[in-house]
Structure 1
Amino acid sequence: MRALTEQELHNLAMNIVGKKLQEMGYEFVAINSELKKHPQFVLFKKGEPTIFVLVKATNNLQHPNEYDTFWMETFKTHAEKQNAKVWYAGVGIANAESVELPVIKDQPYYVSFDDFLKI
């Protein structure tokens, strides 16, 4: 048994968010699953502006949508230059036995992700 790496947790969060976006009817123009490369998803839906989705995995199940506001303002400025909207997806992922323990490969875990924050 081993703990998931930061990249593996990020990929898990990406899969959770990607599935929700597909259910919402969005097409993926681009996907970037590399850690700390933004945006993770560039979305298209006919008749809507382009949407940049930022995905962040966290072990904070109570407040997964907390983010660095200064960094977000910088990114929002970049998105506006591209005529794009910004959505933030904070995904809380924690060990099912105890939030104090790391998430273990092939072991149960909890997910806290309700919806997107539209920045």
Structure 2
Amino acid sequence: MKPLSSQELHNLAMNIVGRELESDGFEFMAVNSKPGKNPQFVCLKAKELHFIVVRPVAFPDDPRDYDTKLLKKVKDHALKFEAKTYYAGVRLSNATDRNLPVYLNEEYLVEYEGLLEI
């Protein structure tokens, strides 16, 4: 069994958030899947710009906790474009034992409570 890499976990979290954004009527203007490059999504909805930072979170960490310094920097950048800023934390854990890593082609649990406006 091969544990997912940090890039694979990041991509998985982005896919989960991206599907929700799409179903909520967001139009993707830019997508950045490189960890460390923020925001991950720049979207348009109702003629309003949205900057969305996505992070995979490991069990037992709280998916609602975020790096305030980073999000302030993203928000300051977003304000220049009159954009709203959001954080999307997605906790991913092994379905069999939450203390084990998430493995490729194995079941996993997702805890995602939606976008947090910053």
TM-score of the aligned structures, taking structure 2 as reference length: 0.94
Contact 1:61 1:111 in 2 (8 A): no
Asked if 1:6 corresponds to 2:6, the answer is yes
Query: 1:50·1:84 contact (CA, 8 Å) conserved in 2?
Result: yes
Q: Which ranges in structure 2 are unaligned for 5 or more consecutive residues? A: none
Q: Secondary structure at the match of 2:33?
A: coil
Q: Secondary structure at the match of 2:51?
A: strand
Using the alignment, how far apart are the partners of 1:77 and 1:97 within structure 2? 41
d(CA) in 2 for partners of 1:96 and 1:25? Answer: 30
Post-superposition shift, 1:60?
A: 3.3
Q: How many percent of aligned residue pairs carry the same amino acid?
A: 44
Bigger shift: residues 57-66 or 109-118: 57-66
After superposition, give the CA deviation of every residue in 1:13-61 in whole Å (9 maximum; x if it has no partner): 00000000011011100111111111111101233x2000100001136
Moved over 2 A (4+): none
Structure 1 unaligned spans of 5+? none
1:31 — aligned with what? 31
Q: What is the CA–CA distance in structure 2 between the aligned matches of 1:81 and 1:97, rounded to whole Å?
A: 45
- Between stretches 69-78 and 85-94, larger displacement belongs to 69-78
TM-score (norm 1): 0.93
**Number of residue pairs matched by the alignment:** 118
SS in 1 for 2:22: helix
Amino acid in structure 2 at the alignment position of 1:26: F
| Correspondence for 1:77 | 76
Instruction: Say what the alpha-carbon RMSD is for the aligned residues.
Output: 1.2
Q: Is the 8 A contact 2:40 2:53 kept in 1?
A: yes
Q: Distance in 2 between matches of 1:68 and 1:53?
A: 14
